[in-house]
Amino acid sequence: MADEDLTEVTGAYEDWEEEERRRRREAIRDRRPFEGLQVDPEIDFYP
């Protein structure tokens, strides 16, 4: 009985890992260009 439970847990963990890999690949593939805050090199931060 314990072996069956371990098999289920192992299968669920492998499914979770595959889902994480899929999400990571999808995030990289669908990456958008950075349009956030840009630093102006002409600004003097230290007077």
pLDDT (tens digit, 9 = 90+) per residue, 1-45? 566 788 888 999 999 999 999 988 888 887 766 666 666 767 776
What pLDDT does 25 receive? 86
Q: pLDDT category, 46, cuts 50, 70, 90?
A: low
Q: Is 8 strand, coil or helix?
A: helix
pTM exceeding the 0.75 threshold for the entire prediction: no
The answer for residues whose C-beta is within 8 angstroms of residue 30's C-beta and 6 or more apart is none
Rounded to whole angstroms, the Cα distance separating 18 from 12 reads 10
